[in-house]
Chain A
Amino acid sequence: MNAATNPHVNYILRLADGSLVLAQRLSELCGKGPALEPDIALTNIALDLLGQARLLLSHAGTLEGQGRDEDALAYWRDAKDFLNPTLCELPNGDFAQTCLRAYCYVSWQAVLWAQLPQSSDAALAAIAAKSCKETRYHCEHLGDWVLRLGDGTAESHARMQRALDYLYPYTNELFDSDATDEAAAAAGLGPLPSTLAADWQAQVLPLLTEATLSVPATVPFHSTGRRGVHSEALGHLLGEMQVVARAHPGAHW
């Protein structure tokens, strides 16, 4: 059975893969941050996201009932079976783009987590309740960088504005609803993504304004990662993330 046939599993996988892929992107910076302190801070955030991904993937595996655990789902699916929003898989780029991308996603998570404790899926509700606090810190820390660099030197401002122009169209996808989302909403699993837009904008737009950044005009572009149609960046990311597990199947510490 393919996960795509079960909207409940799909709904959880979309969240799991968003956390997992962004965790992988942020951990690329481990040991390579611009200074020791932000290096540790970003790696901490990556670890938190990985923790969310593990819980969500395990839950998806249980719901699916095909005997796939978190490792099977993380390491043995191919790109087309990953359901993260495209935003999460884009390359890190410079430090401005790294921070802004992560900020856009974790602030979306913050809005979502706030509603999921009411989910009809008790496990999902518990994961959301647990993740709420760490996500609040992620928003604070990453938002702080967006503010500092946006409202910083001419160079840092230009870089942050460039990152915003590049990334902003990819946030459209976070608020797209399709059959999976409608089924999830009907079952009381979680809110329709389209209903999250107002809260997200209320959180993000004032920060961007304070950071003296111009919010790009809305564009019709909608990325499609949540439906398994990805940018080429995901293939490279998975190649690196999965190579050890696939070279040594069943290996353990």
Chain B
Amino acid sequence: MSDRKEWPLWEVFLRSKAGLDHKHCGSLHAADGAMALQMARDVYTRRQEGVSIWVVRADQIVASAPDDKAALFDPMADKIYRHPTFYELPDEVNHM
């Protein structure tokens, strides 16, 4: 039906038990944030994948344009000195 309003799209981020950060795991449709959280629980944590869920409306995400990829990222390709590979990391520094 053309007059039927579609539920908006939500992006779902999960933090796994061992994980430190939320990782994008997929998207779903839901009427609002509360419903999106419940749906995310049912669609994406069926196998104990997560202990915390974030949902973000997809249209609220500001994304870089694929066409800009070369201009944005290619200049970094020859700047190897920006990588921390030349330093000895002390053991106390975790999660770099």
Contact = CB atoms under 8 A, between A and B. Distances in A.
B31 interface: yes
A37 B46 contact: no
B28 to A, nearest CB: 5
Main secondary structure of the interface of A (DSSP, over half): helix
B30 interface: yes
A144 to B, nearest CB: 7
B72 interface: no
Given A35-B7, A37-B28, A37-B39, A44 B46 contact: yes
Nearest to A35: B29
A148 interface: yes
Given A35-B7, A37-B43, A144 B29 contact: no
Contacts of A169: none
Interface residues of A, number: 12
Contacts, number: 31
Given A35-B7, A44-B46, A141 B38 contact: yes
B82 to A, nearest CB: 42
Given A44-B42, A44-B46, A144-B38, A37 B30 contact: yes
Interface in B1-56: 7, 28-31, 34-35, 38-39, 41-43, 46
Interface residues of B, number: 13
Given A35-B29, A37-B30, A144 B46 contact: no
Interface string A214-230: 00000000000000000
Contacts of A140: 38
B43 A40 contact: yes
B1 to A, nearest CB: 13
A38 interface: yes
A211 to B, nearest CB: 15
Interface of A: 35-38, 40-41, 44, 137, 140-141, 144, 148
Given A36-B29, A37-B29, A41-B38, 18 more contacts: A35-B7, A35-B29, A37-B39, A37-B43, A40-B39, A40-B43, A40-B46, A41-B42, A41-B43, A44-B42, A44-B46, A137-B41, A141-B38, A141-B42, A144-B34, A144-B35, A148-B31, A148-B35
